[in-house]
Amino acid sequence: MIQTPVIIINFKAYLESIGVSCLNIAKAAEVVYKDTGVQIVVVPPATEISRVSSSIEIPVFAQHVDPVEPGAHTGAITMEMVKEAGATGLLINHSEKRLLLADIETLINKARANNLVSVLCTNTPAVTGAGAALNPDFLAIEPPELIGTGIPVSKAKPEVVLNSVDIVMKINPAVKVICGAGITTGDDVYAALKLKTVGVLLASGVVKAKDPRKVIQEMAEACLKFQNEIRG
Amino acid sequence: MIQTPVIIINFKAYLESIGVSCLNIAKAAEVVYKDTGVQIVVVPPATEISRVSSSIEIPVFAQHVDPVEPGAHTGAITMEMVKEAGATGLLINHSEKRLLLADIETLINKARANNLVSVLCTNTPAVTGAGAALNPDFLAIEPPELIGTGIPVSKAKPEVVLNSVDIVMKINPAVKVICGAGITTGDDVYAALKLKTVGVLLASGVVKAKDPRKVIQEMAEACLKFQNEIRG
Amino acid sequence: MIQTPVIIINFKAYLESIGVSCLNIAKAAEVVYKDTGVQIVVVPPATEISRVSSSIEIPVFAQHVDPVEPGAHTGAITMEMVKEAGATGLLINHSEKRLLLADIETLINKARANNLVSVLCTNTPAVTGAGAALNPDFLAIEPPELIGTGIPVSKAKPEVVLNSVDIVMKINPAVKVICGAGITTGDDVYAALKLKTVGVLLASGVVKAKDPRKVIQEMAEACLKFQNEIRG
Amino acid sequence: MIQTPVIIINFKAYLESIGVSCLNIAKAAEVVYKDTGVQIVVVPPATEISRVSSSIEIPVFAQHVDPVEPGAHTGAITMEMVKEAGATGLLINHSEKRLLLADIETLINKARANNLVSVLCTNTPAVTGAGAALNPDFLAIEPPELIGTGIPVSKAKPEVVLNSVDIVMKINPAVKVICGAGITTGDDVYAALKLKTVGVLLASGVVKAKDPRKVIQEMAEACLKFQNEIRG
């Protein structure tokens, strides 16, 4: 089970996302989790899942799996592979790895059958609504034009997030909405939670940071601040 | 505007779907329309749209358009091209030409902006629900395993159609549902209408028939029979 | 048969490449051909092939065909379709419509079996060498970074063209080499022929020109000038 | 450096190709190598490369890498990733993971720059000739219709192999040819070497075998038998 609020760190395919550097970022995330209790998920490249998952105790997700069953599929990354390597969830349909509509449903259902957490990435409120009908565990709304910009969707286009949350409430309120694209600071995380999402999906803001741990720490503290306010 | 019930004939890429044979099938559809008043739409290959649309008076749709804007896209079929050639609507995401989720939304919105009728093809009730959230004019539910089999979904898997109609009613009742896959007879059409769809999408049942006109005529009469009953 | 030198005009998917404007450019090409005797080929979008081919007497090629046989392939453009519509040749593997290596061989062989002229587009001398081994009628070398720039490969990277011609001579001298990318003037055409190619493949230089006929005329005259020199 | 003759075992995406079973097959290959001295290469899924490469001493290759540079490419498998994980070579363009012609050249050049061995898979003699022009280290000719059948190309279509070897000798004799598709026994390996190839690429013959080690052993002994004959 993934607690919320949640900070999901997508390592993408950066040079910093492999080998020692990959492991260091993952361990920094674990340290912050142990320090703050805030749920953090790391999403390393497929080749790094086994090394990361055997080295840390926080959840490790896969960035993508191919919509195929085990068999004669040279070069494919199956759900069985990432699960075996230690992944407990996966991103589906990231804007850099878009999928066919029919395959998205297949993967969401297969993830559930395999006890893997599914995070479906979408780009607009209407597509988020479509995604809700497919019943993933999480929907991550990321306007592609903001990804990697450092301009948080929560500030640049709050209405995209609000409309996404609204449409999900109408179509399938069981699905939790996460805010992606342009998240780089604790303030961005706080703003995302204020827009009624349950967390953030981010990448370069942490992976390309000079001090990844410091950024993750700041984000986790923003989560604590938000939680204290709503409890208070 | 497309009246319902509607019979949509997808010509696919059969040898019979080009040249004289293509035009003959399209003209047969027009003859049946003039005889019965039942709405029939023909969907020839892109290369045949201009010849067909300039020869008959019933609506001509495109089988697919690429999700790109006019520009330097060698080999692309744009929405502007098929509209210029005389198409007044298009299929989107046919099981033989699946699209990325984000591109489906783009095409539906662009079709509406261009006054083209959009028919989104889906494969399961959940995907049909997702499609409804994207607000196409029509949703055509076609379990891929039945396409081209001559086994109508209305008989083999009526629950797939019923569940699809239900989910669309819940998510976006403005969208009309069409029944595809395995339709070859008037009885199949009648069964589809009984399942609360507004028509059928079919291909080989007409295109590969010895006498396409006879099959279309039989299907149109099934529509009339159904209409008389509900009026009666 | 295609005479050389040849000017091949790829209409791409520009707004100017459909309807009346498409036909006007094609007719301008025909006028220049009739005036100068220089071989010109027009390559309109698939939807325009039948209208163009029934209106002019110079060769009409397709921009792309899908590597599938006639059958249940909704949305596909088959070789049979473009041939039926009047195409007598086709581009294969344009940089905006790249193909799998295995499919390129299939299309070249199928084009030959259908008496269609094949023009395989490539991007580097090594890929041009690979293309020569597949035995198309023509190879069009187009460094993608120059396409649409107005900077002719013949000036910016003459060694790319020269090395391509050399490697084709070594691997399969029966294949004729054409020069693409950045061609906009008669001088560019002349420079291409000087580099031992047999013609040019161009697009925006004509299609986006204020006066397409004037540009084509200038290019055809550059061909005549070159021919006179080598004869003289 | 890869010695020849060589036996390359592609693990594909079988259930047997992950976790303990993956490691067991890889270790069986290592045992046979240590016993016979015959070069064996294992090609596990991307998720298993690091575990396998850190457990055995024979070369580990990747089944595929995406033709992208490190960066914002969620879900991509880069060459940098598989190298970091311990791969010393890679398959390119396997029939189950076909690539665009231009991307094949890019990957071959990038592999060489990274000191990784490249094995380009092809399907026909003409495509093998094209591949030779791109200068990979190895070419593996595999008629797709024989893959996984247990019918060795060396018996069913020896002329395909012979013609492939001939065309490579003509276009680029530095490239070594490997025989794939349908290889399941030591006899098949021996027949492949007799056809002037330098080894075999196989998958299910070992991975789905009841006793993978026994099959690998038999194949290695066939290599020794062939070597003794040509020396003798």
pLDDT tens for C200-211 read 999 999 999 999
CB A225 within 8 A of CB A231: no
pLDDT of C179 higher than 80: yes
User: Residues B84, B94, B96, B105: which is the catalytic one?
Assistant: B94
Element containing residue A130 per DSSP (H, E)? helix A125-133
Distance CA D3, CA B67 (A): 49
Catalogue the long-range contacts made by D213-216 (C-beta closer than 8 Å, 24 or more residues apart).
D213/D28, D213/D31, D213/D32, D215/D184, D215/D185, D216/D7, D216/D9, D216/D28, D216/D29, D216/D32, D216/D40
Cα-based angle C131, C204, C14 (whole degrees, multiple of 5): 100
CA B25 to CA B47: how far, in whole Å? 15
Residue with token string 């890929």: C127
The residues with which C178 forms a beta bridge, in sequence order, are C140
Residues of A in contact with B124 (CB under 8 A): 102, 105
Best B47, B93, B202 member to test C by mutation, with max C CBs in 10 Å, is: B47
- Mean predicted confidence (pLDDT) in B188-208: 93
Q: How far apart are CA B39 and CA B32, in angstroms?
A: 9
CA distance C8 to C61: 9
Cβ contact A133–B167 (<8 Å): yes
Residue C1 forms part of a structural domain:
no
Is position B184 within any domain? Answer: yes
- Within 8 A of A46 by CB-CB distance, chain D residues are 46-47, 75, 77, 81
Residue of C nearest to B95 (CA): C74
Chain D touches chain B, with at least 3 Cβ pairs below 8 Å, answer no
* Cα separation, B38 vs B50, whole angstroms: 23
Among B74, B77, B91, the residue with its CB nearest the CB of C12 is B74
pLDDT band at A158 (very low <50, low <70, confident <90, very high): confident
* Cβ atoms D121, D92 nearer than 8 A: yes
The rounded distance, in Å, linking the Cα atoms of D114 and D69 is 13
Residue C172 domain-assigned (yes or no): yes
Q: Searching chain A, which residue's CA lies closest to the CA of residue B171?
A: A171
Q: Give the span between the Cα atoms of A67 and A78, in whole angstroms.
A: 7
- Which member of D102, D123, D124 has the closest CB to residue C127? D102
CA distances from D10 to A83, C143, D186 (A): 21, 35, 17
Give A83's pLDDT tier (boundaries 50, 70, 90): very high
- CB C101 to CB D105 under 8 A? no
Print the domain residue range for D137: 6-65+75-231
Taking contacts as CB-CB distances below 8 angstroms, the residues of chain B near A127 are 101-102, 105, 134
What is the number of residues in chain A?
Answer: 232
Query: Which helix (H) or strand (E) is A77 found in, with range?
Result: none
Is the pLDDT reported for residue D150 higher than 80? no
* Residue closest to B212 by CA, chosen among B14, B10, B24, B13: B24
Q: Is the pLDDT of residue B230 over 90?
A: no
Do the two chains C and D touch, given a threshold of 8 Å on CB pairs and at least 3 pairs? yes
From the list D95, D101, D171, which residue is nearest C104 (CB)? D101
The answer to whether residue C166 sits within a structural domain is yes
Mean pLDDT (chain C, rounded): 94
Sheet holding B6-10, edge to edge: B39-43, B6-10, B199-202, B176-180, B138-141, B117-122, B89-92, B61-62
- Global pTM? 0.94
pLDDT mean over C117-144: 95
Q: What is the pLDDT of residue C94?
A: 96
Is B1 domain-assigned? no
Question: Is B142 an annotated catalytic residue?
Answer: yes
Query: Which residues in chain D touch residue C105, judged by CB atoms under 8 angstroms apart?
Result: 124, 126-127, 130
Average pLDDT of span C39-49: 98
Q: Which of C10, C46, C76 shows the shortest C-beta gap to B13?
A: C76
Calculate ∠ Cα B131-B137-B138, nearest 5°.
Answer: 65
- Assess whether pLDDT exceeds 80 at residue A154: no
Q: What percent of chain A has pLDDT over 70?
A: 100
pLDDT, mean of residues C188-211: 93
Smallest Cα–Cα separation from A91: which of A71, A115, A111?
A: A111
- Quote the ipTM score: 0.94
| Coil vs helix vs strand at A190 | helix
Query: So what's the pLDDT on residue A8?
Result: 98
Tally of structural domains, chain A: 1
Q: Is pLDDT at C146 greater than 80 in this prediction?
A: no
Q: What's the gap in Å between the CA of B82 and the closest CA on chain C?
A: 7
Confidence of residue D84 (pLDDT cuts 50, 70, 90): very high
Q: Which of D184, D178, D123 is CA-nearest to residue D150? A: D184
**Residue B16 and residue B207: Cα distance in Å, rounded?**
7
Beta strands in D38-154 (DSSP E): 39-43, 61-62, 89-92, 117-122, 138-141
Share of chain B above pLDDT 90, in %: 87
Helix (H, G, I), strand (E, B) or coil at B144: helix
**Does an interface of 3+ CB pairs under 8 Å exist between D and A?**
yes
φ and ψ at C93, to 5 degrees?
70, 35
Q: Which residues of B touch C147 (CB under 8 A)?
A: 72
Q: Does the structure show a pLDDT above 90 at D232?
A: no
CA atoms of A186 and C79, how far apart (whole Å): 57
| C212 in any annotated domain | yes
Residue among A216, A207, A100 at smallest CA distance from D74 = A207
| Per-residue confidence band for C177, with pLDDT thresholds at 50, 70 and 90 | very high
CB-nearest partner of A96 from D15, D73, D96: D73
pLDDT tens digits, one per residue of D10-29: 999 999 999 999 999 999 99
Phi, psi of D153 (to 5 degrees): -60, -30
What letter does residue C195 receive in the DSSP assignment?
T
Confidence of residue C143 (pLDDT cuts 50, 70, 90): confident
pLDDT digits (tens, 9 = 90+) for C11-37: 999 999 999 999 999 999 999 999 999
* pLDDT exceeds cutoff 80 at C128: yes
Angle at B225 between CA B219 and CA B231, to 5 degrees: 140
On whether the CB atoms of residues A64 and A90 are closer than 8 A, the answer is: yes
**Which domain CATH number covers C84?**
3.20.20.70
Q: What is the mean pLDDT of chain B?
A: 94
Is residue C101 a part of any domain in this protein?
yes
Residue B82 forms part of a structural domain: yes
Query: Is there a contact between D99 and D42 (Cβ–Cβ < 8 Å)?
Result: no
The amino acid present at C126, given as its one-letter code, is: A
Q: Using CA atoms, how far apart are residues B180 and B176, in angstroms rounded to an integer?
A: 13
Taking only the tens place, the pLDDT of each residue in A171-214 is 999 999 999 878 899 999 999 999 999 999 999 999 999 999 99
Nearest of C218, C163, C158 to residue C189 by alpha carbon: C218
Inter-chain residue contact B13 with C49, CB threshold 8 Å: no
* pLDDT, mean of residues B162-175: 95
In tens, the pLDDT along D168-178 reads: 999 999 999 99
Question: Sorting pLDDT into bands at 50, 70 and 90, what band is C145?
Answer: confident
Looking at chain C, which residue has its C-alpha nearest residue D109? C126
